[in-house]
Structure 1
Amino acid sequence: MTSPTSSSVPDRGQRPTHRGQRPTGRQRVDAYFDSIGWKPFRFQRSAWKAYQSGASGLVHSATGTGKTLAVWLGPILRWLDANRDASVWDARKPPPLTVIWITPLRALAGDTEAALRAPLQALDLPWQLDRRTGDSKSSVKARLLKKLPTALITTPESLSLMLTHQRLLPQLASAESIIVDEWHELLGTKRGIQTELALARLRGLNPKLQTWGVSATLGNLEEAANSLIGPKPSDQIRIIQGYRKKKVQLRSIIPERIERFPWSGHIGTKMVPQVAQALETADSALVFANTRSQTEIWYQRLLADRPQWAGRIALHHGSLDAKVRQWVESGLKDGRLKAVVCTSSLDLGVDFTAVDLVIQIGSPKGAARLLQRAGRSGHQPQATSRLSFVPTNAIELIELAAAKDAIARGDLESKPALEKPLDVLAQHLVSVGIGGGFEPRAMLREVRQSHAYRNLSDLEWQWVLDFVVRGGQSLDAYPEFKRVEIQQGRYVVADQRTIRMHRMSIGTIVSDAAMKIQYLKGGTLGTAEEHFLSKLNPGDRFLFAGRLVRLVRIRDNVAYVKRATGAPDSVPRWYGGRMPLSSELSDALRRKLEEAAEGRLVGPEMKALAGLFEIQKRWSVLPARDELLIERVKTRGGFQAFLFPFEGRLVHEGLAALLAYRLSRHQPITLSMACNDYGLVLQSPSPLPIESSLAAGLLSPHNLGTDIESSMNSTEMAKRQFREIARIAGLVHAGYTGQQKSARNLQASSNLFFDVFREYDPENLLLHQSRREVLERQLETSRMKAALRRLAECRIVITDPPKVTPLAFPLLVDKLRERLSSETLADRIARMQASLEKAADA
């Protein structure tokens, strides 16, 4: 694979043409750049040149540095060179489909259309540009089923849906290029796999199709390019680097008083006055929180601190109604809004040039995500991106210091690609069967052209074919699972009910069933997950969309509410907000702790924690990178063993269960556990046999898979994961619009299939996939194995501190959370902190 070296220095434009000559495409484009006061960057010209040579590739550049024009103007330049006589251009007869532009979020489609339309209008091209997403009006969808535009903006789901319409295939085959925006968001997900399969189908229709991706903040560029483009000779794949180091200012809003015994969330909204003061210095700002619940709380607290900002600050997250989100986005663009409190719903794509400050509440758990969010401010190549970090836990200051170092070194997170999920393949085969059908051998060759299925075995292929034709071994007796028919050697879908249900179910996004929240007399506020709303009683008050509302009743999958006054009884909790610490940031965190252990406190964040580090070293140790710290402390709750691998919450969850299992096998013992991103705690009423268990292989990576299955309720976890697989593979359906099935109903249906397969078809490959996904996605077993290998080479440092140390205190609080109410917990923590502070001073 080649990777042209591309500077970010503007290149000179072309000289004007002589009188009477028809301008070339490059001359027209240079004139366009002159008209808006810009000059093309060299990486943009490199992308255009690569495109015109027939290559495919990936453009990687920081947020807000011109990636869109780098890939969009390639097809335009080619068309301009082939159609130099502008006098014959006719907007009433636009060229056929030339470019398909895939956006990862349908919410971005409108802004993407505006960005792509600007050069079309400036160049007066006769191209027709349109978009087709789930948000498009039914009239637009019907029109696009007849004739596709010159350039089409769509999503992975809508593209897959178009492949089910045979009459569209000749038009789709005319496309000369497909561009995937924000590829780093799709990579490593089932939506990314869905995109890969759709690309393979389009390449089957047009072998000359060029594929280009746009990405920012990504570590594994070569793997990302291969996943997008599929098998091609290395000289036909380009990785073009643009701005790798955009000017970024990262600073912390450090609390006036750093508690030496911090706990998760202990700072929280205490920082509202400092955040409001920082917002005063900005014309327009984004305040990112990691969960939707946090956005609701912070919006209310900021408004209470600055009531004069009413109407000038807003709220934005994915569960709000689309009209609300659109109002907020337009307010950001035209500068009407002072600040927007948001989640990752504003991470991508949307260009808010007015934003000059980003505030991050709590650690984003990854250097790449931090850089991505910082780039939402100063969204221009030469502008400086500013981000202020607000810790919710004092120890998170170490994470920011570590992230700064990782960014300076260029150690951004990789997004590993997924390998051959068979549920997505089954869905794709039914889609192709609806869209004209396929011949198995040719289809297998096509599927293997996608990176995810390049190693698909003949046995796996035959199993998936059998599954879509007759439901596999155990469902052969049920006609509804015979979705694909074989007609004269061709696999097709002819049953109209199957076609209708499949088109409604296309996609790989499977979340808990959402319930609409609507005023009793008025408009819709958005959606919340069913598991939260089902626990509320009529009259309960909760925060939603920045308002306090009271539940009136739930009917027909709609929660009807009224405005309320007073204090909320609860805030909606969405599953999906918990982000684990990345492996790259984990390593950077261990580096910073080693520096602190050596007495080197670099940067304001580390210096602010000097008191905390001093107590940690006095009572125990600060571990070096090649050390594993184990602290043993006896408390009122029992005997505690605190371990600090600093590998992230998901790894520690699996590790805690594994160690508890191995300890109990070594010696009968009763254990409870808790974990966070930094470590884990095991508690027992009797002393834990740490030394003898370590000698017996407590941290050994051997027999990891077997021990994990024995240590956890792996069957129940696999059942929960199987619900996603069953939905994607077409075994269960969410129901018709307005008649969606409840999450409980879907789980019961998928559990039934799981039990049937386990009893009558134990070699069912979807069963194996559910177990594999539990290990990899929920427990990060590969990372856990790597962590155990690292720990096996570490020096074990066991200490017996006189009191619970600053590193151990957050874990002890998490243990208490399991059995105390929030009010009781706060009182108990305050007493514990006071006692520890007194001991530290003594």
Structure 2
Amino acid sequence: MTQKELIHIAENWFQNQGWKPFPFQKKTWRAFLEGKHGLLNAPTGSGKTYALWFPIVLNYIKHNPDYKTRHKKGLKAIWITPLRALSQEIKQSAERITQDLETQMTVGIRTGDTSTKERARQRKTMPDLLITTPESLHLLLSSKEYAKTFANCSAVVVDEWHELLGSKRGVQMELGISRLKTVCKNLRIWGISATIGNLEQAQQVLLGAMSPQLENSILVKANLNKKITVKSIIPKKMETFPWRGHLGLHLLDEVVPIINNSKTTLLFTNTRSQCEIWFQKILEKYPEFAGEIAMHHGSINKETRLWVEQAIRNESLKAVVCTSSLDLGVDFAPVETVIQIGGPKGVARFLQRAGRSGHRPGKESVIYFLPTHAIELIEAAAMQKAVRNSAVEDRIPYLNSFDVLIQYLTTLAVSDGFYPEEIYPEIKQTFCYQAISEEQWQWLLNFLVMGSQSLKSYDEYKKVEVEDDGKFKVNNRAVGIRHRFQIGTIVGDAHISVRYQKGGYIGSIEEYFISKLSPGDVFTFAGRNLEFIRIKGMAAHVKNSTKRTNKVPSWMGGRLSFSAKMSELLRQELYTAELPVEKQSREIKSLLPMFLKQREESIVPQPHQFLIETFKTRDGYHHIFYPFEGRAIHEGMSSLLAYRISLLAPITCSLAFNDYGFELLSDKEIDIQAILDNNLFTTDYMLSDLQKSLNSNEMARRKFRDIAVISGMVFTGYPEKGVKMKHLQSSSELLFDVFKDFEDDNLLYQQAFTETFEHQLEEGRLRLALERIAQQEIVWRKCERPTPFSFPIITDRLREKLSNEKLADRIKRMTAKLT
């Protein structure tokens, strides 16, 4: 069949559905059938799944003209999804095509949720089209004779590539693809990505730096001008002294009419604890919503989550309070409205959430922005600009993640073994390891066989043997079993399951929250008040309680920080506060009372100014700096400045920071002028000052735990018999200390420091921020009392010490005094 005839089959199918294919879909079909590789950039809900399932099936028809009568079994294409939740949707789309076109192709799923029975069936005969996750792909590579399984595979599609890029799962994908390129003769590699700033680089990472695939590739952009409308919910009465979490719930009454006027509404919160609180409060105040509103977050059990997703599809729920667990690809046509509670901290995340409403080609997406304190309205205005100018963040890919490489080489050694001279060129072609040196490669091979230099007398670190012909192979069955259990790069804080005493499973919570509870304590989780009884094994036993509580589990993920793009947009928006009124957005105008109050004591900074405020309260001397760079940068910058100040005057400070600025609180006054004269914001010696100021050893030690787990130096335990987090922490800390004292050139030890500075403290961004401040005029204001800008930072520090009720009283008193 000619290409024209094949494409005609697809067009006919679309016509029968009453649809018309988009130009980007046809362009992708043609490119694929011509044998090209590529990256498809398309927004959620635009038909991207059909853009790639179709050419895969058409290609099969082309090579098997008698496809309706004869069928050759075996794997023909792999579709990788980062989220298990999406696999059902993707499977339905594929089956619709294979069945309507009367091919006899089978579609299967293989993820962590796949039953043992189904896996055994797949071992005998693989489905023609397989939907799987990065981890499950590597599990297949760890099975014997995997090359036969993949031999006739003609395509690999990586969905939601922007989500994997810039994470170790992305590196895992690069390595998996590097192997498939060699094993499958006619492989086409395609990625699907929503909008990110660095699309060209994303394509390079997917296909491999300097690879022949990159030269024969195409970037297809779906230019669908999806209309996104952002509406801010502006409070009737504007608070002049804002603080986090207080305003949000006051706007509850504004949210209910929005819910009532829509078929289905998703309320996105940034954290699971916020999700729990909102769900409780809506039901408390509006009991008539019982049965019509549900909650969805990653720690609730799978059955409940699936039930909620299905209930949204068949429109039996009015509203769902959720977290990023519903960010990606779950395809809900009936969702009309999305409400974002609090700043989403990044443009891409906000657009992704907006796209959940009107999830159909050509439909308008409406997203309401509900601020949790007044300053967040500036974020709302910045978001509207971002949407208008489609300004989105870059995703920065990892380089030289040796832990992932060690895991991958062990995977190959567990299956059929590997020859280093064959694998090295494949690895050099990936983006992550393009700069790996011969010397580093040799070190890694030695590590696989002997463990590291300082551990070579311990047999447990010797996993791989070198056979006579030079093949690296794992011959010990126990090593193979343990390795397969631990394939993957997601290392969270250990999760403890929450169960009723009689055995009903409710969900899972991070271990560090449970470790703070005593028997009898009551906390809110999954929409219920639960009394903690005891911990048994890896489960926390609880019973229902009628007592009121303000304890809500907080998860580490709640510490989101601004992206660089977001900080830049926020500063630009804030600077408009000094412009004539007609040039201001609705949000900035509504903040006028707060800006007037700010100007009484201080200033609202302009583009050429950097603001520092100092004042004294009963807590001590407050010194507040406003870079507006996001929490992660302020964490690094505050300790850097505190360290530099301590060199000039012996002083101890406690630090507090949020997305707008940071505070140094001390018992003695700091002479700001003296330290400014000493070039406080210089980038000279930045790295060494940073290492001394932050307990960089402590941070690297925490990072090293993940590296030790991913590289397999520390075993996390068998399913149901997990190793407690504190044991993992202590075994990885022992290794860290051994390397620190006896082997500081160990690549994994060094990697812990690189990752701490590059990914956690974003050293590059910190440097740029310091350079920007050095160019600005520094305005230092000695204030009599706290200013509206400083209020969220001070109250955030109090939050750590006081319970919610006491905090609200204390802040009421503070506000009364200030106004």
- 2:35 equivalent to 1:57: no
**Residue in structure 2 matching 1:494, options 471, 475, 491:** 475
Structure 2 CA distance, aligned partners of 1:552 and 1:668?
48
**Residue in structure 1 matching 2:280, options 300, 303, 307:** 300
Structure 1 CA distance, aligned partners of 2:285 and 2:59?
55
Helix, strand or coil at the partner of 1:798:
strand
Q: Which stretches of structure 1, 4 residues or longer, exceed 4 Å deviation after superposition?
A: 84-87
1:825 maps to: 807
What letter matches 1:668 in structure 2? P
2:365 maps to: 385
**Which is worse superposed, 704-713 or 203-212?**
203-212
- 2:171 equivalent to 1:193: yes
Structure 1 CA distance, aligned partners of 2:293 and 2:686?
50
Structure 2 CA distance, aligned partners of 1:609 and 1:207?
62
**Which is worse superposed, 243-252 or 487-496?**
243-252
- 2:569 equivalent to 1:591: no
Q: What displacement does 1:80 show?
A: 2.7
1:301-339: CA deviation from partner (whole Å, max 9, x where unpaired):
112222222221111111111111111111111111111
Give ranges in structure 1 of 5+ residues lacking alignment: 1-16, 838-842
- 2:483 equivalent to 1:505: no
Helix, strand or coil at the partner of 2:229:
strand
TM-score (norm 1): 0.94
Q: What displacement does 1:291 show?
A: 0.7
- 2:626 equivalent to 1:644: yes
- 2:712 equivalent to 1:730: yes
Helix, strand or coil at the partner of 1:171:
helix
Structure 2 CA distance, aligned partners of 1:87 and 1:477?
62
1:15-55: CA deviation from partner (whole Å, max 9, x where unpaired):
xx9xxx99922122111101111100001111111111211
- 2:539 equivalent to 1:558: yes
Structure 2 CA distance, aligned partners of 1:589 and 1:281?
31
**Residue in structure 1 matching 2:23, options 37, 42, 65:** 42
1:792 maps to: 774
**Residue in structure 2 matching 1:230, options 200, 208, 211:** 208
Structure 2 CA distance, aligned partners of 1:585 and 1:23?
46
Alignment of 1:396-795 (within 5 A): 396-487=376-467, 488-600=469-581, 602-795=584-777
- 2:266 equivalent to 1:286: yes
Q: What displacement does 1:207 show?
A: 5.2
Structure 2 CA distance, aligned partners of 1:200 and 1:726?
24
Structure 2 CA distance, aligned partners of 1:299 and 1:102?
33
Helix, strand or coil at the partner of 2:312:
helix
Q: What displacement does 1:689 show?
A: 2.3
Give ranges in structure 2 of 5+ residues lacking alignment: none
Structure 1 CA distance, aligned partners of 2:219 and 2:192?
10
8 Å Cα contact 1:485/1:493 also seen in 2: yes
8 Å Cα contact 1:23/1:84 also seen in 2: no
Structure 1 CA distance, aligned partners of 2:3 and 2:41?
34
1:213 maps to: 191
Helix, strand or coil at the partner of 1:348:
coil
What letter matches 1:550 in structure 2? E
1:269-304: CA deviation from partner (whole Å, max 9, x where unpaired):
222222122101110111111111111111111122
Helix, strand or coil at the partner of 2:251:
helix
8 Å Cα contact 1:672/1:684 also seen in 2: yes
1:351 maps to: 331
Structure 2 CA distance, aligned partners of 1:221 and 1:417?
12
CA distance 1:594–1:339, change in 2 (3 Å): same
Structure 1 CA distance, aligned partners of 2:194 and 2:308?
25
What letter matches 1:826 in structure 2? A
What letter matches 1:467 in structure 2? F
Structure 2 CA distance, aligned partners of 1:557 and 1:286?
33
What letter matches 1:775 in structure 2? F
8 Å Cα contact 1:658/1:711 also seen in 2: yes
1:360-409: CA deviation from partner (whole Å, max 9, x where unpaired):
11110011111100001111111111111111111111001111112212
8 Å Cα contact 1:436/1:492 also seen in 2: yes
What letter matches 1:118 in structure 2? R
What letter matches 1:595 in structure 2? T
8 Å Cα contact 1:552/1:562 also seen in 2: yes
Q: What displacement does 1:798 show?
A: 1.7
1:184-237: CA deviation from partner (whole Å, max 9, x where unpaired):
111100111111111111112125421111111311101111111113355522
- 2:98 equivalent to 1:120: yes
8 Å Cα contact 2:75/2:152 also seen in 1: yes
Structure 2 CA distance, aligned partners of 1:569 and 1:235?
58
8 Å Cα contact 1:60/1:240 also seen in 2: yes
- 2:146 equivalent to 1:164: no
**Which is worse superposed, 356-365 or 306-315?**
306-315
Alignment of 1:240-389 (within 5 A): 240-243=220-223, 245-389=225-369
What letter matches 2:310 in structure 1? S
Helix, strand or coil at the partner of 1:267:
helix
Q: What displacement does 1:569 show?
A: 5.0
8 Å Cα contact 2:111/2:133 also seen in 1: yes
Structure 1 CA distance, aligned partners of 2:167 and 2:66?
45
8 Å Cα contact 1:628/1:791 also seen in 2: yes
1:570-626: CA deviation from partner (whole Å, max 9, x where unpaired):
111111122101110111111111111223453322121111122223432211233
Q: What displacement does 1:119 show?
A: 1.8
Residues matched between the structures, number? 815
What letter matches 2:21 in structure 1? P
8 Å Cα contact 1:662/1:698 also seen in 2: yes
1:627-649: CA deviation from partner (whole Å, max 9, x where unpaired):
21111222232322211110000
- 2:384 equivalent to 1:395: no
